[in-house]
Amino acid sequence: MSATPTEAFDVVIVGGAAVGSAAAYFLASDPGFRGRVLVLERDPSYRDSATARSAASIRHQFSTPGNIRLSMFGTRFLREAAERLAVDGEAPAIGFREGGYLFLASAAGLPVLQANHRTQRAEGADVALLSPAALASRFPWLATGDLAGGSLGLSGEGWLDAFALMQGLRRKAQSLGVVYRAVAASGLRREGRRVVGVELADGAFVAAGTVINAAGTGAAALARSAGIELPVRAKKRCVFHFRSPARLPGCPLVIDPSGLYFRPEGEGYICGIAPGPDEDPDSDDFEVPLAWWEDRLWPALAARVPGFEAARLLSAWAGHYDMNLLDHNLILGAHPALDGLLFANGFSGHGLQQAPAVGRALAELVVHGGFRTLDLAEFGWARVLEGRPLRELNVV
Ligand SMILES: Cc1cc2nc3c(=O)[nH]c(=O)nc-3n(C[C@H](O)[C@H](O)[C@H](O)COP(=O)(O)OP(=O)(O)OC[C@H]3O[C@@H](n4cnc5c(N)ncnc54)[C@H](O)[C@@H]3O)c2cc1C
């Protein structure tokens, strides 16, 4: 039995990183919302969160129209973040740099690149298809001999300081009255088909009108405590930071047909590569397979940019995608068997850029009971329960 008396909040958000804090910010700044919001965050250092360990990049080059719309709102938000998130005249320095993404394609990959390009243009994305000759002239440092084309984001895409964005959202939410508490949620309390609150690791219970599951890789365990099987698992992804004497003017975030990506970071670069399907188990460790640098990354980097022959590894880190096993896309909103619980999970490696739009959507679901700006119904539970994947082809 706990000695702590029961408290009650209108909304309790489990997980206070990018998505949880975006939801808190949009709720607290919604003029139609007068409720009290509590954010439960088990680790306020955010050391192991995906947000803190991400490659912190944003693109409009997806194959799913909904993902393009989510990121296009993300760009608008990032451009206005200093103004929106300022507290007492102090604005977060999120360092948004619109350096663009460049997706490269071999002959085999060209039809998909072209089909995605049509989808992206129809959504208003500022992207251009480039021939190998145009690629060589625009990026003389790039090896183009094996390429059939590329797709370049001309504006709106780039990278930022993810930690600064998250802290900016958190600080602004707090300034608007949101309460953050450093404690783990141990489970959800359910009465019939309603989630009525959250059990805390310190033995206390918090009653909630609505609970939002923004627990990243902790989301499946939280859902299971309410009897719901969320098809989201933690999958390790590693980022390698390197230096090179090569000068790459105008270097965007480059996605190579081999699965390699790289982009500028400070004075150097970061890069990574997706593991093969047979070497991607569920994971909760943070060990980096350092041999990948020598065996996979360096050769692939030097093949695409000959100047990277002299690259030198500086450091590396691991983090975890909250991978949606069905279709690599977000699961957003209520489960049809439960009231009082909203999900925002399964971002599968593109959740940082989606956090502003998803935070806004969650606030709309709480305040209005439905979407008001972007209709995100296609990301709901229906497709999961019916086994009808909304498959995203451009997973990095
Ligand atoms: C290596 C890597 C590279 C990435 N690159 C990009 C990129 O370039 N662009 C992009 O858009 N996305 C990228 N992502 C994905 C992106 O980082 C995530 O999708 C996004 O940060 C998810 O945010 P979140 O708030 O949902 O989850 P998280 O950041 O994981 O936060 C979840 C929070 O919930 C807390 N929590 C969990 N369980 C509990 C509990 N029971 N009680 C209390 N608190 C709890 C955790 O402590 C954590 O702080 C990358 C991810 C990784 C790992």
Q: Which domains does the chain have, with CATH numbers?
A: 7-89+161-231+326-385 (3.50.50.60), 101-156+236-319 (3.30.9.10)
Pocket test residue of 13, 42, 71 for ligand 1, highest count of atoms within 8 A of CB: 42
Ligand 1 within 6 A of CB of 171: no
User: What does each C-alpha distance from 344 to 11, 138, 236, 325, 354 come to in angstroms?
Assistant: 14, 39, 20, 15, 10
Ligand 1 within 6 A of CB of 130: no
- Say if CB 290 and CB 314 are below 8 A apart: no
Q: Which residues contact 348 (CB under 8 A, 6 or more apart)?
A: 321, 322, 323, 324, 328, 329, 330, 392, 395
The CA distance from 226 to 223, in Å, is 5
Nearest to 41, CA basis, from 24, 55, 27? 24
Q: How close is the Cα of 217 to the center of ligand 1, in Å?
A: 7
Burial classification of residue 204, based on how many CB atoms lie within 10 Å of its CB (0-12 exposed, 13-18 middle, 19 or more buried):
middle
**Ligand 1 atom, smallest distance to 51 CA:** 21
Instruction: State the Cα angle at 352 between 40 and 19, rounded to 5°.
Output: 25
- Say if CB 41 and CB 16 are below 8 A apart: yes
The CA distance from 116 to 68, in Å, is 11
The CA distance from 4 to 203, in Å, is 8
pLDDT tens for the chain, 396 residues long, are: 444 558 999 999 999 999 999 999 999 999 999 999 999 999 999 999 999 999 999 999 999 999 999 999 999 999 999 999 999 999 999 999 999 999 999 999 999 999 999 999 999 999 999 999 999 999 999 999 999 999 999 999 999 999 999 999 999 999 999 999 999 999 999 999 999 999 999 999 999 999 999 999 999 999 999 999 999 999 999 999 999 999 999 999 999 999 999 999 999 999 999 999 899 999 999 999 999 999 999 999 999 999 999 999 999 999 999 999 999 999 999 999 999 999 999 999 999 999 999 999 999 999 999 999 999 999 999 999 999 999 888 878
Ligand 1 within 6 A of CB of 184: yes
The CA distance from 178 to 22, in Å, is 12
The CA distance from 308 to 243, in Å, is 9
Q: What is the pTM of this model?
A: 0.97
Ligand 1 within 6 A of CB of 73: no
The CA distance from 277 to 74, in Å, is 30
